[in-house]
Structure 1
Amino acid sequence: MAANSSGGMQDALLDNSFVSNDDLLSDWYIYETLEPSAPQDDMFPSIIPDCDPTISPRLYHICMAPISLAVLLGLSLLVKRRHLHRSCWNGIPGLLSPANFLEEEGNRGLVAAVFGILFSSLCVLVLDKDPLPLLAPSSQSTREYWKILALLYYPAFYYPLLACATVRHKLGYLLGCLLSWCHCAIHIWQKVDCPQSPKIYRYYSTLSDVPIILCLVLLSFWYPALLIRSFTTQEETWDNEVPGRGYYKKYLKAILSKRPGKKSSTKIEESLLSQVRMYLRSYTYTPEEGFRLPLKLLLSVSLALIAVYQVALLLLVAVIPTIQIVRAGMTKDVVVLLVQFGLVPSENPAVPGDMEKELSTVKHYLWSLEVCYICSLVLCCLLTCAMLLRTLAMHRTNLKALYQGAVLDVFYKAHILRPSRRAIVCWMSFAAFQTAFACLGLLIQQVIFFICSVAFTFLVVIPLQSGTNTYLFKVIQNMWPFWLTLVVAVIVQNLMAHYQFLEQLSLQKELTNRRALYIVTYLLFPINVLVGVLAGVWRMIISALYNAIHFCQLDISLLNRSVETFDPGYHTYCHYLKIEVSQSHPVMKAFCLLLLQPAKPQGTAGLRATNIEEGIQLMQPKKAPPSRSRFKKSRARWGLAYTLLNNPSLTACRKNALSDPMANGTQLSPPKP
C-alpha cells in the first residue's frame, strides 16, 4: 500500500510535469526570475564592470611614494640643521620620530587620524587582489608574499604625515598641509570617479574608505591650524616649549589643591533611580579636571572603534545581499524540497502544484533571518562600543591608583613598576592588541547573538504568530511534570532551609533539626543532580555571554586570578601600565620640570642656570630678601617632595638616585648599618 502510494506520487509528479527541464534551469538561474522592481545591479555585484579611475591606485602610489620619501629626507636634514638629537648616530641624519607616545602633547587627534588611515588601508589590503599597488597585477602564488611586503610598505608610505608634526617647524607644517591635501583630494576624486566596484558589494569599496577620507579631512584642517599657530606664536617660546609641560602643571595643581571633604555620619540611602544612573555612568567616560589619558590609550580606543566599523561593514555586505538574492530568487521547486524535508509546514504536501502559501512562508522565513542578522549585528556594535567606553573609565581608575602607589588595587600580586624587556614589548603591541581583540570580539558576539536570535525567532516568535506548535512547545508540553518537579524541589528546599533548618538566636543564626536535614539531603540527591545539570548549562551560557561581551576589554582578565597571566590581553595590559607609570608619571615629570627650570637672576649677583650645575643653583652668594613669591615656590616644592616621599612606586628610582655619592653636587654621608 505504501509502495503504491509512493509510486502514485512519483507518477503524479512526472505526469503533471509542473516544471519542465528548461523551466527548471531558468528558475534556478535567478537572473531571469527576478521581479522587475528589484534592480539586478543591487543584487549581483559580479555584473558590475570594473571601473578604472582617472588617477589609478598604481599611478597614485608611484607619484606619492617618492614625494613622501623626499619629504621625509628633507625633514630629517632640517632637524639635524637645527641641532636637535646631535648625539643620534654621530650627527648622521636618521628617521624622525612619528610621535612622542610617552609625552603629553597637543597633536593627539593628528596621531589618531594617521593611525586610522593606516589601519583602514590594511583592512582594504586584506581583500585586494593587488596588495602592492606599485607592482603589476600579482598572481595567486605570489599574492601572499606581496601582502607581507605591503604590511611594511603602508606604514612607510604614511610616515611623513606624522613626521611633519613631530619636527615642530613651520616648514614641516607646510609640507604636512601639502601632503594631506594631496592625499585627501586624490582619495575623494577616486571615489567620485568610481563609486561602485565588483568587490563583495557594489558600494563596499566606497564605504570602507570612509574612515580614510574622514581622517584625511581632519589632517587637512589640522596642519593649517598648526601652521597658523606657528606664525602667531613667538618662535623662541615655541622651540623651547617642553611637550606636556602645561598638563603636568595642571595635574600637580589639581592634586595639591584637593581637600578631603567631611563625610557625614548619617548614611543616606540611595534610591533605585540613582543607583541605575550611577551604573550607567560607569559605562561612560567623562573628562576629569587635571587628568588626561595617555596617548596610547586614546589611540587604542579610536582604532578599536574604526575596527568595529570595518568588521561590521564586512559582515553586513557579505551576508545581507546574499540573503536578499536567495529570497528574491526563491521558486516553487525549492519550496517543494523544503516541504518534503519538513522544514516548511504545508497543509497539502501531496499536492506540489499549489505552493503559493508555502512560497510566501519561505520568503517570510528568509526575511526574518535577515532581520535577526541585522538586529544582532547592531546589538553587537553597541555592546562593543559600550565596553570600549567603559574601559576608558577603568584605565583612568587604574592609572590614578598606580600614580598614588596603590599597586594591589590594580594587580593581584605586588608588582615592581620598572621597565623590562617583556614590558617594552607589551607596550609596543598594546594598541595593536586592542584593535585585534575588538575585531575578534565583534565576530564572536555576532555568531552567538545571531544563533540566539534565530533560535528565539523560529522557536517562539514565528509559532506564536502562526498559531502552530513547534518542537520547543511540544517538548515543554510533554515534559511539564519534569519541570514542575524541579521547580517544586527547589522551592521546598528553600522553604525548609529557612523555616526548619535555620534557627534565629539573639545575634546569630544556627543550624537545627539536623537529622531531618540529613534525611532531606539524601532523598533529594537524584533531583539535585538534574538541577545541577540545568545549573551547569546556565553557567556555560552565562560564561560564554560574559566572555564574548567583555572580550574586547583588556583591563580585565577572562580567567581566574591565579591563572590570569595566561590571558595574553590582560598580560599585555599589565605590562603596558608598568611602562606608562614608570616613564610618564605626571608628578615625576612635574618634579623634573621644576628641577630643570632655570632660576631667575636677581640683581648683579644672579647666576645663570646654563653655566652652573643643578645643585649649585640653589646656593646664592647673598641672601635675597624673602618675598611672597619665593615662599609660594618653596611651599610648592616642599609639598611636591612630600608627595614623592609618600609614593611607593618611586621608591626604587629614589634609592638608585640617592646612592650616587655626588648626587645633586653634594657628598652624602655613608648609610648607617
Structure 2
Amino acid sequence: MINGQNNCSSDNKCGRYGYCYMVKDEMLCECKFWWEGELCNQQSNSGKQVIILGCLTGTLVFIFFILKIIRTIHKKRKEPKANKKKEVLQDPKLINLAIEHVKKSTPVSSCLITILMIIVAIGTLVAKWSIIKEIHNEIINKYKNKNKEAIYFNRKSFCDILDIEQFNVVTFPVACLFIIICIVMIKRSSFMRNKCHGYGAPPIPVDFLSHVDRKFAAIVFAIISDELLGIVQEIGGSSGPKEGVLVTFLLRIFQVLIMGVRFYPILSSVYINSIISLVCGIIYAWLDYSFTIITQGMCYPTYYPTYDDYLENSTDISEKLDYYGTGSALIAIELCSDIPRYLCLAYISVKLPVMLIEKIYNQRKKNLTEENKMLLSLSREENFLLSVSHPDSAEMLYVRNLLRSADQRPSSQTLFARLIPKFIYEWRDDFQFSSRILCLYSSIFFLLFFITVQACVEVVPTLNTVQQALQITVDEIINLINSIIDTFSNNDDNEDKVPLSFPLPNLVKTYLCAVAMTVTLIIIQLIVFLVNIRRNLLQVYRGDDSEIPRRQRAKYISYATGNFHFAGYFIGFFIWGFIIIALFSTIVCASIGAFITYGSVKALEKVLKFIVPSILLITFKLFLNKLLAQYVFLQHYGDVLAVNNRRFYMIFIYFNFFLDAFLGFISAILRFVKSIIGAILYMCRLDYSALGRKLESFDNGFNAYCGFIHTECTHRHPVMLVFLSHLFNQIKKQQYTMAHIDLDDFTLEEKSVIELKKSSKYIRKWRLAVFLIRNPAIVFFRKTFLKQLCIEDLHAINDVDNDNQHNTQRGAAFYTRQMAAQRPSFVTEIDPTQIIILRF
C-alpha cells in the first residue's frame, strides 16, 4: 500500500480532476464532481447538464435585472417635470455643521472631564504595569527553572484579608453605610408619609424610563458587565467536594447581589444629585477605584495563576508563555484589555467631582431668574418632566411631526446624521432611547469585547497542539460516515472508491477568521436590533400592530414579567448566540480554508455535488416565474395586482400545479436548512422569533421583547409626556409664585388681589362643577366615580377600544345606561366617539 501511494505521488495520471489510489498494484482514478473516464479527462453528461443549467440561470437572472433597470429608467423619464423641481434650501456645509455640533456637544466641562479621565486612566495603567511586572518576573523565573518548578505566584497576605471568597470586607460595609445615609435623607412619596417626618425611603439607582444621566448609568453598567462575566465563568467551573451544584449556583447569585450593592451608592448619589449624596459618592467611588487597582493587580491578575489556580489545575501558563514568549507581550495584552474598564472607572471618579462643583456653583449663583430658582427646588423627576415641554426636546419634536409625512419631516442637523447614509440608518431628533437601552447596549458591547479578547488570548496558544488530535477526531467522524454510506449503498464497487476525507487547514488562521466573522455578524445583528427597537416603538406609539401584537388586557401580567426578563434574556441570548455563531463560522471558515489550502476536499465535494444542481434549478424556476409574472401575467408590468392574459395564465397555473410538486420537495429541504441558519444568525435577536409568526407566543424571548415595548409605550409615550409636562409646568409656576409672595411689599389693593388669587382653588372647584354639569360624560371617568364601580364595570369601560367584541358591547351598553340615568336637561347630544376621545 505504501508503494501504491508512492506510485500515485510520483506518476499521477488522474490529473487535477481525479483522485489517484492503488488497488492490488493497479492505479485507479476516481473523478471529481462531474468528470468521467479512466483518467478523468472527460465531462460527464451530468456535468454538461449542470453547465447548461447554470448558463441558462445566469442568462435569465441577467435578463431580469436588465429589464428591471430599463423599467426604472423609463419610470423616471415619465415622471412630470414639476416633481423634479424642488426648492433649493440653504443647507449648511458639513464643515460648518461639524464646527457647530462640536461647540454644542463639547462644553468646557466635557473637555475637562475627557482630559482628566485620560490622565487618570493612563496613571492607573502605569500603576498596574508596575504591579504586574513583579508578578511576571516571578512567573518567568519559575518557567525558566530547569527543575520544572510549579508555575504560580504567591499573593500578598492582605489579599486574603481584604477579599474573603471574593467578598470585599472594606468596600462592602462602606457601600452599606452610604446606602443607609441615602435612605435617611430621602422622603417617602406615598407610603406612611406621616412617620419620621416622611424621611426614610430606599433611593432609586437608575430611572430606566427617562433620560436622566443616561451616559453615566450606561458606563456604570458597562463595568458591571465585566464583573458579571467573571461570575458567569465561575458557574461553569466544577463545584468543591463539600459544595453541590445548587449551593454553588446560589453562591453565584449571592455574588451578583453583592456586585449590585457595590455600585448601588454610585448610581444613587448621582440620581439624588444633592451635595451630601455627591460627596458620599465621590468618597466611595475613589475608595472602590483604589481597591479595584490593588485587587486586580496584586490579587487577581487575568493571565497569571495563583496557588489556588495551580491546585485546581484550571490555568496553564506554560502554553501562553510558549506562544507569546517570555517578554512583555502578555503584560501588554492584559493592559490593553483593561483600557475600556479603567477608562470607565476614571470617568466615574472624575465625573462625580465635576457634578459636585456644578451643584455648588448653581446653588450659590446669584441673579438667577425665577424659573431657574424654581428648577433648583425641584427633584430630578420633576425637572425631567418639565424639560419635556422644551421646544427642542425629543418629545416636543415628535408631537410637531405627528401630522407630517416622512418627506416633510425636517432632517436632523446633527453631525452624525450627515455622516451616516440614510439607507443604513436615519438619525431622528424626535426620538431618544431610554436609559435602559443605553445601559443594556453598553453592557452587551463590553461583554462582546471581553469575550472576544479571552477567546483569542486563551484559545489561540492551544490550537497548534490541538490540531493533530482534532484531525484524528474528524477522521473518525468521516470514517463513521463512510461506513454508514457503505452499509446503505447497493453498489458493489465500494471497495474501489476513495473514502471521504476532510483535511483541516491551519487552525490558527481559521480560528481568527471565524472570530472576526462572528464579531462582525454579532455587531450587525445588534445594530439592526437597535434600529428595530426604535421602529417598533414608533409603530406602537401610533397604534400600528403589524409587527408587535396588539396590547390586550388579559396579558398585562405577561407584559410586566416579560419586561422584567428583557435585559437578562437579551444578555443570555447574546452569549449563546456568540457561541453558536462562532461554531458555525468555524465550520464555514474551515471549509473555505481547506479548499484554498488543498484545492479540493472530497467530503465537501459530495455535499456540493448534491446542493449545486438543486440551487440552480430552484433559482432558474424562481426567476422564470418572476419574469412571467411581471411582464406576461400582470397588468402595467406588475404595478397593478390584476391578471393580464387570463387564458394563458390559467393554462400556466394548470401545468405549474403539478410541476412545482418536484421543486417543493427540494424547497422543503432548503427550508429546513434556511431555518437552521436563520436560527443561528438570529439567536441574539429578541425581536425575531425562530418559531414563526403564528407560534411566536411560545418564544419567551419574543414575549419579553413585547413586554418591554408595551411598557415603554405606556410610560414614555411622547404625546402623553408633552401634555403632562405642560400641565405640570403651569401648576409649579403658580405654586412657586404664590409661595414666594411677600404681602408687606404691596398696597392694600394689591393685597386684596393677591388674596383673591390665593383663594382661586375655590373658584376652580366652582368652574369644575359647571364644566361637569355641561359635560356629564366626563363624570364617569373621574377617579371618585370609578372607585364606586365593581370590577366588571371597570373592565367594561377599559375594553371599549379593545378588540374583544363582547367587552366592547358591554362597555357601550354601560356608557349608554349611565347617560340615560342623567337629567335630560343636561344631556343634549351624545357623540358615539366621545368615549374614545375621552379615554385618549
TM over 0.5: yes
Q: Deviations over 1:255-297 (max 9, x none)?
A: 45449669999xxxxxxxxxxx9997465473x3243211122
User: Is 2:357 the counterpart of 1:214?
Assistant: no
Find the counterpart in structure 1 of residue 724 from structure 2. 592
User: Is 2:206 the counterpart of 1:99?
Assistant: yes
Provide the rounded CA distance (Å) in 2 between the counterparts of 1:88 and 1:183. 35
Aligned-pair distance for 1:300? 1.9
Provide the rounded CA distance (Å) in 2 between the counterparts of 1:590 and 1:615. 27
Given the two structures, how large is their TM-score scaled by the length of structure 1?
0.66
User: Is 2:440 the counterpart of 1:292?
Assistant: no
Alignment of 1:504-653 (within 5 A): 508-510=643-645, 512=647, 529=662, 531-595=663-727, 596-599=731-734, 600=737, 604=751, 605-606=753-754, 613=761, 616=764
Find the counterpart in structure 1 of residue 543 from structure 2. 406
Aligned residue identity for 1:299 = C
Aligned-pair distance for 1:408? 2.4
Instruction: Return the match for 2:162 from 56, 59, 69.
Output: 59
Find the counterpart in structure 2 of residue 254 from structure 1. 397
Instruction: Return the match for 1:310 from 438, 442, 450.
Output: 450
The worse-fitting range, judged by mean Cα deviation, of 503-512 and 110-119 is 503-512
Aligned-pair distance for 1:575? 1.6
Find the counterpart in structure 2 of residue 397 from structure 1. 535
User: Is 2:555 the counterpart of 1:423?
Assistant: no
Aligned-pair distance for 1:179? 1.5
Aligned-pair distance for 1:555? 2.9
Aligned-pair distance for 1:174? 1.4
Instruction: Return the match for 2:598 from 443, 457, 463.
Output: 463
Provide the rounded CA distance (Å) in 2 between the counterparts of 1:543 and 1:64. 50
Provide the rounded CA distance (Å) in 1 between the counterparts of 2:476 and 2:691. 48
Indicate conservation of the 8 Å contact 1:53/1:190, yes or no: no
Aligned-pair distance for 1:401? 3.1
Find the counterpart in structure 1 of residue 354 from structure 2. 225
Find the counterpart in structure 1 of residue 16 from structure 2. none
**Alpha-carbon spacing, 1:469–1:326, altered in 2? closer, same or farther (3 Å):** closer
Aligned-pair distance for 1:323? 0.3
Q: Deviations over 1:442-493 (max 9, x none)?
A: 11211212112212322x22232xxx6634447768x89x949974995699
**Alpha-carbon spacing, 1:260–1:205, altered in 2? closer, same or farther (3 Å):** same
Instruction: Return the match for 2:272 from 152, 167, 170.
Output: 167
Provide the rounded CA distance (Å) in 1 between the counterparts of 2:336 and 2:229. 12
Q: Deviations over 1:104-149 (max 9, x none)?
A: 31x1122223323333212212334999xxxxx9955454442232
Aligned-pair distance for 1:170? 0.8
User: Is 2:224 the counterpart of 1:118?
Assistant: yes
Find the counterpart in structure 1 of residue 815 from structure 2. none
Q: Deviations over 1:342-382 (max 9, x none)?
A: 99xxxxxxxxxxxxxxxxxxxx9766222222212222212
Provide the rounded CA distance (Å) in 2 between the counterparts of 1:49 and 1:424. 49
**Alpha-carbon spacing, 1:213–1:322, altered in 2? closer, same or farther (3 Å):** same
Provide the rounded CA distance (Å) in 2 between the counterparts of 1:572 and 1:399. 14
Provide the rounded CA distance (Å) in 2 between the counterparts of 1:54 and 1:179. 24
Provide the rounded CA distance (Å) in 1 between the counterparts of 2:398 and 2:288. 44
Provide the rounded CA distance (Å) in 1 between the counterparts of 2:634 and 2:396. 55
Aligned-pair distance for 1:534? 3.7
Aligned residues: 545
Indicate conservation of the 8 Å contact 1:285/1:393, yes or no: no
User: Is 2:282 the counterpart of 1:157?
Assistant: no
Aligned-pair distance for 1:577? 2.0
Provide the rounded CA distance (Å) in 2 between the counterparts of 1:86 and 1:505. 69
Aligned residue identity for 1:125 = I
Provide the rounded CA distance (Å) in 2 between the counterparts of 1:185 and 1:258. 49
**Alpha-carbon spacing, 1:512–1:614, altered in 2? closer, same or farther (3 Å):** farther
Provide the rounded CA distance (Å) in 1 between the counterparts of 2:514 and 2:546. 36
Aligned-pair distance for 1:172? 1.0
Question: The residue matched to 1:598 in structure 2 has which SS?
Answer: helix
Indicate conservation of the 8 Å contact 2:460/2:508, yes or no: yes
Provide the rounded CA distance (Å) in 1 between the counterparts of 2:473 and 2:623. 51
Indicate conservation of the 8 Å contact 2:395/2:431, yes or no: no
Aligned residue identity for 2:764 = I
Provide the rounded CA distance (Å) in 1 between the counterparts of 2:356 and 2:615. 77
Find the counterpart in structure 2 of residue 77 from structure 1. 184
Question: The residue matched to 2:645 in structure 1 has which SS?
Answer: strand
Indicate conservation of the 8 Å contact 1:323/1:366, yes or no: no
Aligned-pair distance for 1:441? 1.5
Indicate conservation of the 8 Å contact 1:188/1:213, yes or no: no
**Alpha-carbon spacing, 1:455–1:196, altered in 2? closer, same or farther (3 Å):** closer
Instruction: Return the match for 1:49 from 132, 139, 152.
Output: 152
Find the counterpart in structure 1 of residue 139 from structure 2. none
**Alpha-carbon spacing, 1:559–1:246, altered in 2? closer, same or farther (3 Å):** same
Identity of aligned residues (%): 16
Aligned residue identity for 2:304 = S
Aligned-pair distance for 1:424? 2.4
Aligned-pair distance for 1:299? 1.9
Aligned residue identity for 1:399 = L
Aligned-pair distance for 1:169? 0.8
Aligned-pair distance for 1:156? 2.1
Instruction: Return the match for 2:215 from 109, 123, 126.
Output: 109
Provide the rounded CA distance (Å) in 1 between the counterparts of 2:159 and 2:224. 19
**Alpha-carbon spacing, 1:443–1:661, altered in 2? closer, same or farther (3 Å):** closer
Find the counterpart in structure 1 of residue 14 from structure 2. none
Provide the rounded CA distance (Å) in 1 between the counterparts of 2:172 and 2:511. 42
**Alpha-carbon spacing, 1:256–1:263, altered in 2? closer, same or farther (3 Å):** closer
Aligned-pair distance for 1:49? 0.7
Question: The residue matched to 2:449 in structure 1 has which SS?
Answer: helix
**Alpha-carbon spacing, 1:76–1:495, altered in 2? closer, same or farther (3 Å):** closer
**Alpha-carbon spacing, 1:232–1:489, altered in 2? closer, same or farther (3 Å):** closer
Provide the rounded CA distance (Å) in 2 between the counterparts of 1:372 and 1:512. 57
Aligned-pair distance for 1:88? 5.7
Aligned-pair distance for 1:610? 8.3
Provide the rounded CA distance (Å) in 2 between the counterparts of 1:336 and 1:579. 54
Find the counterpart in structure 2 of residue 368 from structure 1. 506
Q: Deviations over 1:365-419 (max 9, x none)?
A: 766222222212222212222222222222222223333x324245344546x99
User: Is 2:534 the counterpart of 1:388?
Assistant: no
Indicate conservation of the 8 Å contact 1:103/1:243, yes or no: no
Given the two structures, how large is their TM-score scaled by the length of structure 2?
0.54
Find the counterpart in structure 2 of residue 324 from structure 1. 464
